[in-house]
Amino acid sequence: MVERGPGVLTRYGALRGAAKDGVAAFLGVPYAKAPVGPLRFRAPEPVEPWDGVRAATAFGPTAPKRPYAPPLDALLPDPDVAGDDCLNLNVWAPWGGTGATAGTDGTGGTGGTGRGTGEGGRPVMVWIHGGSLIHGSSAVPVYDGTAFARDGVVLVSVNYRLGIEGFGVFPDAPGNIGLRDQIAALSWVRENIAAFGGDPERVTVFGESAGAISIAALLASPLAEGLFRRAVVQSGAPIAQPLATARRTTEAVAARLGVPATAGAFARVDRARLLAAQTEVTGKGSPLTGGHSFQIVVDGEVVPRDPAEALSAGASAGVDLLMGTTTEEYRLWFVPTGVTDRVGPVVQRLLLRKAKVPSRAARVYRAGRPREKPGEVLGALATDKLLRIPLNRLADARLRSGGPGGTYLYEFGWRSPVLDLGACHALELGFVFDTLDLPETRALTGPDAPRDLAAAMHAAWVSFASTGDPGWRPWDPARPVMTFGPGLPSLVEAPREAERKAWEN
């Protein structure tokens, strides 16, 4: 049953959303001014207050981007919503009998009657999407926040600037603009989330892939300190490039356009032409073997030092941290494109050498996977080099530091039958959000994904946001990892330990 449009009063003005079955959704809410004109290639500025009641019933504009290239476009939905006001977010909150109820006439209430668990309000989760910093948005249907709100969480999802406009490196513009957008959104949450029944002192930021890499940078950023209490890092690791290295991508796009590598020059280029050049330059980049890509940079301000070094040295030691990977991350890229079949032993060795994979690690993986193709062994090495090993090292460093923040690791191992993708990158998202019924989720999972596994994984994320404990033992010398499939969730100590040890110096 569709209910009357609920209303809240934020610091910037009144909003009217939509409610259904005890969940209210406020979509396309601006958290900063539109990054156009003189604000293009500039740090975000606070949104201007508005008069009257602003409708918040449709997703706002997405950041300028191009679609995924085939075959990924069929597996990863990426809606494109036109418009300049792309610095917006969405809020799903418990409503009606179980949530905030003030202002349900749409004239702007305070949400003050829906405090939920704890005196300060309900736990809040802020989602930062992935997409290699060039794709994605908060409008992806898989990220629908209804299930989180159903289970007592106020869920926020965020748009931020992508590609050259979010992560270009210029002499006449600030660095990490897209990361600054995320910090601005988190600041908005701190100022306004109580109006939706959320507790600003119980914010968990979570993200996947480039979103997880962003969160690792936020954990190391002094500008984000105090904006969240907990973090979930899904299939991403702490990484950032020096300014000079990251600037090469900007320079390559500039050369393609025939303009100086300055923000002023780029701002005068037609956006469609800019996106086309960006795609041409980054199309062949690979995290394993290099090439042009957009990365978070060590800019001395937002990210003062390499996030891996900062976190290992104790940054955010008081923040509870849940992190993990899928078992076969690589299959999303290697299988649909045929890499697993094309790579033979000789090419495998060349690529491993180019990626600076230790020869000892290569020998251990080959010996332990005698029935796997050379391309599959290469993918397993890539998954661990880029993701599993850095996260294990971070967990170990946090354990050694003895900080107050809890550390928990997981692995998602259920295998999708779609195109033989297996337990590939991004597969866990429909389980975390409990959106298995959506056709956009089924594009990756198929129609028969196990609902009990989604219920368990989603419940763990809710529990972590609520209490700091996802429901299993925190990291200790026995290396406990909660594995979500195949089969029932189970705690495994030191999975594939011989392979992990092969990376030790």
Alpha helices for 151-242 (secondary structure H): 163-167, 177-192, 210-219
* DSSP-derived pairing of the beta strands 23-30 and 88-94: antiparallel
pLDDT at residue number 4: 64
The whole-angstrom separation of Cα 295 and Cα 237 is 12
Is residue 296 within 8 Å of 213, Cβ to Cβ? yes
Percent of residues in the chain assigned helix, strand, coil, to nearest 5: 35, 20, 45
Residues 451-473 pLDDT 10s: 999 999 999 999 999 999 999 99
pLDDT at residue number 291: 84
Which parts of the chain sit beneath pLDDT 70? 1-4, 97-119, 288-289
In angstroms, the Cα distances linking 186 to 85, 87, 192, 314, 390 are 17, 12, 10, 22, 26
Task: Single out the catalytic residue among 132, 137, 157, 209.
Answer: 209
3-class DSSP assignment, residue 490: strand
51 within some domain: yes
Task: Single out the catalytic residue among 132, 425, 458, 499.
Answer: 425
389 within some domain: no
Residue whose structure tokens are 């290697």: 334
Direct distance between the N- and C-terminal alpha carbons of the chain, in angstroms, rounded to an integer: 60
Is residue 7 within 8 Å of 104, Cβ to Cβ? yes
The whole-angstrom separation of Cα 84 and Cα 37 is 10
Q: Please confirm, yes or no, whether 497 is among the known catalytic residues.
A: no
Task: Single out the catalytic residue among 165, 328, 329, 376.
Answer: 329
* DSSP-derived pairing of the beta strands 14-16 and 88-94: unpaired
CB neighbours of residue 190 within 10 Å: 17
Q: Please state at what angle helix 374-383 crosses helix 345-354, rounded to 10 degrees.
A: 20
| Phi, psi at 120, each rounded to 5° | -85, -5
Residues 10-46 pLDDT 10s: 999 999 999 999 999 999 999 999 999 999 999 999 9
Q: Please confirm, yes or no, whether 425 is among the known catalytic residues.
A: yes
Q: What is the CATH number of the domain that holds 318?
A: 3.40.50.1820
The DSSP code sequence of 120-142 is T-EEEEEEE--STTTS--TT-GG
Q: In the chain, how many domains are there?
A: 1
pLDDT at residue number 109: 38
**Full strand arrangement of the beta sheet holding 7-9:** 7-9, 14-16, 53-55
439 within some domain: yes
337 within some domain: no
181 within some domain: yes
Alpha helices for 267-358 (secondary structure H): 271-282, 307-312, 331-334, 339-342, 345-354
Cis amide leading into 141 (omega within 30): no
228 within some domain: yes
269 within some domain: no
* pTM to 2 decimal places: 0.95
Alpha helices for 100-176 (secondary structure H): 146-150, 163-167
Domain assignment of residue 231, given as a range? 2-239+297-330+396-501
301 within some domain: yes
pLDDT at residue number 107: 36
Number of H helices, E strands in the chain: 18, 17
pLDDT at residue number 283: 86
The whole-angstrom separation of Cα 178 and Cα 374 is 37
The whole-angstrom separation of Cα 391 and Cα 324 is 7
